[in-house]
Amino acid sequence: MAKILERIIKPIIRNGAMRFYYRIRNNEEKSVYFSSFSGKQYSDNPRAISELLHKKDSCIKLIWKAEKNIWHTLPSYVIPVLPGSLEDIRLQAQSDVWVMNAGYSKKDGYYKGSKIFYIQTWHGDRGFKKIGWAAFKAMGEHYHGVHNLPDLTDCNLYLSASNYGDRRAHEGFLYSGEILKCGLPRNDKLVHIENYEKEIESVKLTLGINEKSKILLYAPTFRDFERGNEKCFVNIDEVLKILDIQGEDWICLIRKHSSSHGINYVKGNGIVDVSNYPDMSDLLMIADMLITDYSSCAGDFVLKNKPCILAQFDYDSYCKESRQLWIDPVRAGFLVAYSQEQLNAILEKIGQMNIGLINKNILSAYGTVETGKSTSIVVDRILNWIKEVG
């Protein structure tokens, strides 16, 4: 009973507090409120936008919703606030702009005043999995997000990088507002990877990676049923043996999904667990090859014209028990393996494949529009809004 009352009362208190703080906001004080994965990370599209915004106008206050354990990852010029705290509620209600990569449910009591510009970047434009209302329509109560479906009725601008991304917004979030289709800010570095040599060196140095080593990034997504189903994961030792035979020194960075609990690998022998590294986009930037299964990072990585392989060992059970897919990966042009043996066979022939053509076809299948300038375009929209409401 106490928990039920808390679920009812908390949203009422939040909504009332946000309305009050919005009414007494100081219009002379300009600020932008950022949230990446609901405060769990300083990363992704919000991070790219925040950093460029600071460069263009350092007078604007940058507020980051952030759990205490990630405060050390934040730059000194941002203002961190604990998720759900009174200060978090106040600063969000009084900001001029919201930038988020995950939605929220109206049931949680959020209130957005008319002078607030809300930008939703989402965190995966070309993901395979059905999301939001589309997932609920297909799976009903089996959908793990059924009790917290995102509501974008008060969103002012949604970022897209493809025709496919537009569809996800319309069908997944029932979004009918403005869509800015110019690419994802986090992907600008992948489009112009040649301009980020210093950043690549810095990330490798932070991870203690030998500059000469080739990097395989293995990034499996979560499964609601993964406990006791370890066979759906890749045998990295076999993969590294095949790659090493081809004449170069490879290491594997393993990036587990934050909700993953059934995958464990022994560190050493060329295997490094980078699951706690703060930003996935940095790892995509330094990787020479990607192996994933159903993660949206595949649609981003192909921008680099590097090999990307989908290890979908549990394809049938995944689609039945965890999440249905919006797009057939094979028809989209991806290299897909349904077993370790098939994955090994692909890796043995990877050097003979026209990776550039494969990736070009994948991007075409999505109707991809990555300009490499999306961060700048979004920041200009923010600055123009702040000037208009000033």
Q: In 10 A of CB 125, how many CB atoms?
A: 28
β-pairing verdict for 214-219 and 178-181:
unpaired
The two three-digit tokens of residue 4, written as one number? 């039920």
Extract the residue ranges of the chain whose pLDDT is less than 50.
228
Residues 106 and 156 reside in one and the same domain: yes
Task: Report the distance separating Cα 384 and Cα 224, nearest Å.
Answer: 43
Q: What is the CATH number of the domain that holds 166?
A: 3.40.50.11820
Q: Spell out the residues 6+ positions from residue 260 whose beta carbon is closer than 8 angstroms to its own.
A: 220, 221, 222, 223, 226
283/357 same-domain check:
yes
**Residues 175, 60 within the same domain:** yes
Indicate the angle between helix axes 44-56 and 374-389, nearest 10 degrees. Answer: 60
Report residue 126: phi and psi, to 5°: -120, 40
Q: How far is CA 130 from the centre of its chain?
A: 15
**For residue 51, what are its two tokens?**
């950093």
Domain count along the chain? 2
Q: Assess whether 92 and 28 both reside in one domain.
A: yes
Residues 74 and 156 in one domain: yes
Q: Parallel, antiparallel, or unpaired for β 308-311 and 250-254?
A: unpaired
- Please report, for the domain that includes residue 335, its CATH number: 3.40.50.12580
- If asked whether residues 133 and 115 sit together in one domain, one would say yes
Q: What is the pLDDT of residue 3?
A: 62
Contacting residues for 115 by C-beta, under 8 A, at least 6 apart: 96, 389
SS3 of the chain: the string is CHHHHHHHHHHHHHHHHHHHHHHCCCCCCCEEEEECHHHCCCCHHHHHHHHHHHHHCCCCEEEEECCHHHHHHCCCCEEEECCCCHHHHHHHHHCCEEEECCCCCHHHCCCCCCCCEEEECCCCCCCCECCHHHHHHHHHHHCCCHHHCCCCCCCCEEEECEHHHHHHHHHHHCCCCEEEECCCHHHHHHHCHHHCHHHHHHHHHHHCCCCCCEEEEEECCCCCCCCCCHHHCCCHHHHHHHHHHCCCCEEEEECCCCCCCCCCCCCECCEEECCCCCCHHHHHHHCCEEEECCCCHHHHHHHHCCCEEEECCCHHHHHHHCCCECCCCCCCCCEEECCHHHHHHHHHHHHHCCHHHHHHHHHHHHCECCCCCHHHHHHHHHHHHHHHHC
Are 181 and 284 within one domain? no
Q: How many CA atoms lie within 13 A of 324 on its CB side?
A: 13
C-beta of residue 32 within 8 angstroms of C-beta of residue 382? yes
For residue 338, count CB atoms less than 10 angstroms from its CB and return exposed for 0-12, middle for 13-18, buried for 19 or more: middle
Q: Are residues 149 and 276 in the same domain?
A: no
Does residue 200 share a domain with residue 150?
no
pLDDT of residue 260: 57
> Domain range spanning residue 149?
2-187+372-389
Does 218 lie in the same domain as 282? yes
Give pLDDT tens digits for 4-47.
Answer: 556 778 899 999 999 999 999 998 899 999 999 999 999 999 99
Do residues 325 and 128 lie in contact, with contact meaning Cβ atoms separated by under 8 Å?
yes
Compute the distance between CA of residue 361 and CA of residue 364 in angstroms, rounded to an integer. Answer: 5
pLDDT at residue number 142:
73
User: Does 197 share its domain with 180?
Assistant: no
Tell me how many degrees the CA angle 209-212-218 measures, rounded to the nearest 5.
Answer: 55
- Residue bearing tokens 């301009």: 195
- pTM, whole model, 2 decimals? 0.93
Q: Is the same domain home to 183 and 201?
A: no
Closest by Cα among 271, 273, 260 to 232? 260
Task: Report the pLDDT value the prediction gives residue 222, as an integer from 0 to 100.
Answer: 75
Characterize the bridge pairing of strands 250-254 and 214-219. parallel
